[in-house]
Amino acid sequence: MQHVRLGGAALQMPVAASCRRCHMNSWSAVERCYRGVLASTSSTVSTGASLAPVRRVGLRQATRAAASPVVAVAASERPTILVTEKLGEPGIELLQQIGDVDKAYNLTPEQLQEKIATADALIIRSATQVTKEVFQAAGGRLKVVGRAGVGVDNVDLASATDMPPPLCQPSPSTCKQRAPHGCLVVNAPTANTVAAAEHGIALICALSRNVAQADASVKAGKWERTKYVGVSIVGKTLAIMGFGKVGSEVARRGTGLGFANVIAYDPYASEVKAAALGVKLVSWEEALAQGDFFSLHMPQTPQTKGMFNDDAFSKMKKGARVVNVARGGVIDEAALARALDNGQVAQAALDVFSKEPPPPDNPLIGRSDVVCTPHLGASTTEAQEGVALEIAEAVVSALKGELAATAVNAPMVPAEVLAELQPFCQLAQGLGTAAVQLVGSHGFTDIHITYATSRGDDLDTRLLRAMVIKGILEQITTSTVNLVNADLLAKNRGLRIRETFVSAEGKGVLASLKVSLGTSDTKFSAALGTDKRISVAGTVKGTQSYLTRVGTFDVDLSLQGIILLTRQLDKPGVIAAVANVLSKEGVNISYMSVSVTPDNDAVMALGLDQEPPEEVLDQLPSLEGITETCVLAEKL
């Protein structure tokens, strides 16, 4: 059975006329071949009559063992890393090993925009607002924003993903052809998990026994024992709103404190994970109705902003207690003040606010029934050092062009999944690279990716799809394609992407991968499948990517180095004649694969140690029995 996933809309790759001169000047030699100098308002990718076809293509760079999928453009020189909020020294020291660290704290928005133009990386905490204007001021140089912590609501993720490259010259004001460059945004989601959970538990205990109020009373010279009688935790229900890393750690500790029931609301949480911790997942309505203590651990999104409002508080038990160590914006602060006034909520403990620091007119500041702390969730010595190292490592990886498991404006890839998919990422990029370099002068209209997997459509293909797009577009454009902007670049070029899943036996994540392009115009006719589309397929053996099929011909060769494809008659002397021509020029053959059909049609694939000279390639089609040739080599 096949499962099909569709993407994109239009079937063409448009070439707009605006800023035509600087846009066309930016084309690489390969893209000039594909587009043509006579392109006007719109066309498919095509070849102009005045340009000769480019024979050699890029493959080695996509598949060499050392090449990893990237999510940020690797910095070619020592990068400048701007740190706008205090970061632990272990992180600073790590950053200084690979770049020049500029520590500039308490910047105004205008000062940040001025400094960002010279920065390759930016590291922030929760106070710095990285807006659309900041990304625009970066001028395309900024490669990664690192958030030392979990929440990224102070970063404009859409603008980061759509960030343009440097302006074209000499007419930047009129240029409209700048493709999105993509700035990676990474966070540090694990190092402060325990610290945040501990602070949540501390606030729960402080509320239940009026610790903060009693402390202030004694320091004021009073002794009010009867005034600060508390409530017991034992026998109560703890409702955890948001069952992620921090929420699950609070659940572990809540059970140990003696809560009779620990329930959780999270529409994306695993019931198996919750059950393993003795937690029952419930609906939003059930959580509000059953909870005595509410511990908030949800991110601030458009869906969760102001989620705890008048309606939510009205559905809680009278006298409920609310603790928030997540994001301030998930609570409607005016609504909470009203709930406290009428006794619906007995007490609240807040480590975060909708605006930080909270202004004097915040309705929750100065109340005796509200405990306030200045965003201390991650403020332990151990957590600060851990967060500093975690974000520094993520930023360093991004600046090196490596894939980051903590990217937040790219498909989220857990470390274990990343390790599992890594060999197939190289395969996906290599197949994309090979397929597009088999395209003839009239271009192609769509991409079809087929995954042979035992996991069916449960396989998360976002990373693999991005690598196929990267392999294709980086051969025919000057755009830098990465995990952040791959889908957007494909969409902007009008490419329709279709994904199909076919069943495969075995326990591996992927048995094989096939990439086909919507065109019958090819430099190598043997690359056409039965559906008259260019088609290549491959698999992974060990950690090495292999090309296993070209069109309808089975092959077996490593997707690494330079590959010579020949179509020929299956008769004696042909292979020897090709080898003789190559050997005369000192071109060594490292491996060979030949596929033969019943009617004596054959395709030979040769792995070469170096790229053959033009004059050698020109000799091959004249050999008896050879009908066509094609070389897959390094990108021009």
Q: Are 632 and 563 in contact (CB under 8 A)?
A: yes
Give pLDDT, residue 46: 32
Asked if pLDDT for residue 128 goes beyond 90, the answer is yes
Confidence of residue 152 (pLDDT cuts 50, 70, 90): confident
Asked if pLDDT for residue 196 goes beyond 50, the answer is yes
Euclidean distance between CA atoms 385 and 149, whole angstroms: 12
Q: Are 182 and 402 in contact (CB under 8 A)?
A: no
Euclidean distance between CA atoms 237 and 136, whole angstroms: 49
Give pLDDT, residue 400: 87
- Side-chain half-sphere of 13: how many Cα atoms within 13 Å? 24
Higher pLDDT, 40 or 236: 236
The H or E element spanning position 403 is none
388-419: pLDDT as tens digits: 999 999 999 889 877 677 777 766 566 677 77
Which position has the token pair 């990718």?
45
Residues β-bridged to residue 370: 348
- b/e burial code for range 489-506 (CB count within 10 A of at least 16 → b): bbbebbbbbbbbbeeeee
Confidence of residue 26 (pLDDT cuts 50, 70, 90): very low
Tokens of 2: 């096949």
Cite the DSSP H helix spans in 437-485: 462-476
Confidence of residue 34 (pLDDT cuts 50, 70, 90): very low
Where in the chain is CATH 3.30.70.260? 450-632
Euclidean distance between CA atoms 481 and 71, whole angstroms: 8
CATH number at 73-170+179-192+378-409: 3.40.50.720
Asked if pLDDT for residue 522 goes beyond 80, the answer is yes
What is the pTM assigned to this prediction?
Answer: 0.55
Burial of residue 611, with CB atoms counted within 10 A of its CB: 0-12 exposed, 13-18 middle, 19 or more buried: middle
Q: Is the dihedral of CA 503, 505, 510, 511 positive or negative?
A: negative
Residues β-bridged to residue 607: 563, 591
Q: Provide the greatest CA pair distance for the chain.
A: 106
Confidence of residue 35 (pLDDT cuts 50, 70, 90): very low
Euclidean distance between CA atoms 57 and 521, whole angstroms: 16
Confidence of residue 20 (pLDDT cuts 50, 70, 90): very low
Give pLDDT, residue 149: 86
Check whether the bond before 109 is cis (ω within 30° of 0): no
**Per-residue DSSP letters for 29-76?**
HHHHHHH-TT--S---S---TTSPPP---B-HHHHSTT----SSPPPS
Sheet holding 370-372, edge to edge: 280-281, 261-265, 237-241, 293-296, 320-324, 345-350, 370-372
Helix axis angle, 462-476 to 415-436, nearest 10°: 30
Beta strands 601-608 and 562-569: pairing type?
A: antiparallel
Euclidean distance between CA atoms 388 and 383, whole angstroms: 8
Higher pLDDT, 91 or 182: 91
CATH number at 197-371: 3.40.50.720
Q: Are 176 and 16 in contact (CB under 8 A)?
A: yes
Confidence of residue 493 (pLDDT cuts 50, 70, 90): confident
252-310: pLDDT as tens digits: 999 999 999 999 998 767 777 889 999 999 999 999 999 999 999 988 877 789 999 99
Alpha-carbon distances, residue 186 vs 121, 150, 279, 391, 451 (angstroms) = 11, 9, 30, 8, 29
Where in the chain is CATH 3.40.50.720? 73-170+179-192+378-409, 197-371
543-590: pLDDT as tens digits: 889 999 999 999 888 888 889 999 989 889 999 999 999 988 888 898
Closest by CA to 159, choosing from 188, 187, 189, 129, is 129
Q: Is 268 helix (H, G, I), strand (E, B) or coil?
A: coil
Which position has the token pair 């029995």?
625
Catalytic residues: 327, 356, 375
Q: Are 45 and 423 in contact (CB under 8 A)?
A: no
Q: Are 200 and 248 in contact (CB under 8 A)?
A: no
Closest by CA to 182, choosing from 137, 134, 144, is 144
Mean pLDDT of 50-66: 34
Question: 450-632 adopts what CATH topology?
Answer: Alpha-Beta Plaits (3.30.70)
